Amino acid sequence: MTTPIGPADGSASPRFGGLTTFARLPRLDQVPTSDIVVLGMPFDSGVSYRPGARFGPAHIRQASRLLRPYNPALDIAPFDTVQVSDGGDIDLNPFDIHAAIESAEHAARSYADRGSRLMTIGGDHTLSLPLLRAAAAAYGPVALVHFDAHLDTWDTYFGAEYTHGTPFRRAVEEGILDTEALSHIGTRGPLYGKKDLEDDRRFGFGILTAADVLRQGVDEVVDRLRQRIGTRPVYVSVDIDVLDPAHAPGTGTPEAGGMTSRELLEILRGLAGCHIIGADVVEVSAAYDHAEITGIAASHTAYDLISLMAMDLAGQTD
């Protein structure tokens, strides 16, 4: 196995200098192949309230400069274990949501065809649909672990079928999700009506609310998720608004009463050993993010997801 090319050495090259790739990793064009590609999708034409997630990928990359190469919580140096690189941003049409979805799916499929897994940084939640389409094309219907304040299984907004509030309803309808292994974590706040929950249950989702996380604790939540996932290929989608606004003010549809960044990271770490085949972190709106609080949370979330995928890939080659 070729020794992976890692990030710039923070003890020799100041973290505040140089090109801003995720965690100061090499660019995709600087490595022969890449097991995991960090891919930016700057797009927010599907949002229903505050815009700004189109600037999320750049903001997350900037906040990721302080990440270091060894992850003690998972006991892995992901960038030494597998080749991880930054693939830059995909060009997505900001005026045509259908064209943007098509471009996102085409890009995701092209990486899957090369054998790369994606850690996507967004961008609004609309883009999870084309990413799931690409994942299902490679693996068949996949399990889903969805961290979010909201269900995102609504039908339409203003008659539009493709928005940041509809991706998982469309995914169920298209048959690209394994409906025996679907979970929402961290949901909270008012809904349009009780039918929202009834529809969601009909689609096959299990719900662990933010209050459930508080009352049951991280270990119980992890145990329930792992039982639901089993050995299936699983896609993890993280809307940063799953965090309380105190931990993630920079997002488009904040809701009070959310999880802490510590809870989110500990739940993710509890998925070590699961077959995670792709992930996204979305809905980071830089304009509302004072002191980079949201960007830091998002960059650490992506780092732990990369670590989990690296562990899975390393396990497959042992």
Binding-site members for Mn(2+) are 125, 148, 150, 152, 239, 241
Read off the tokens for 100.
């943007």
Alpha carbons 200 and 167: distance in angstroms, whole number: 12
C-alpha dist (Å) from residue 211 to 142, 187, 207, 221, 231:
27, 8, 11, 11, 27
Q: Where are the alpha helices (DSSP H) in the chain?
A: 56-63, 78-81, 97-113, 128-139, 167-173, 194-203, 210-216, 218-229, 261-269, 293-317
* DSSP code string of 55-92: GHHHHHHHHGGG--S-BTTTTB-HHHHS-EEEEEE---
Handedness of CA 36, 312, 167, 212 (dihedral sign): negative
Distance CA 58, CA 162 (A): 24
- CA dist 280 → 122, 125, 152, 272, 289 (Å): 7, 9, 15, 17, 19
Say how far residue 101 (Cα) sits from the centre of its chain.
Answer: 16
**Strand-pair partners of 147:** 185, 238
Q: Which residues are part of a known binding site?
A: 125, 148, 150, 152, 239, 241
* Nearest CA among 120, 182, 119, 108 for reference residue 151: 182
- Residue 43's identity, in one-letter code, is F
Q: How far apart are CA 195 and CA 200, in angstroms?
A: 8
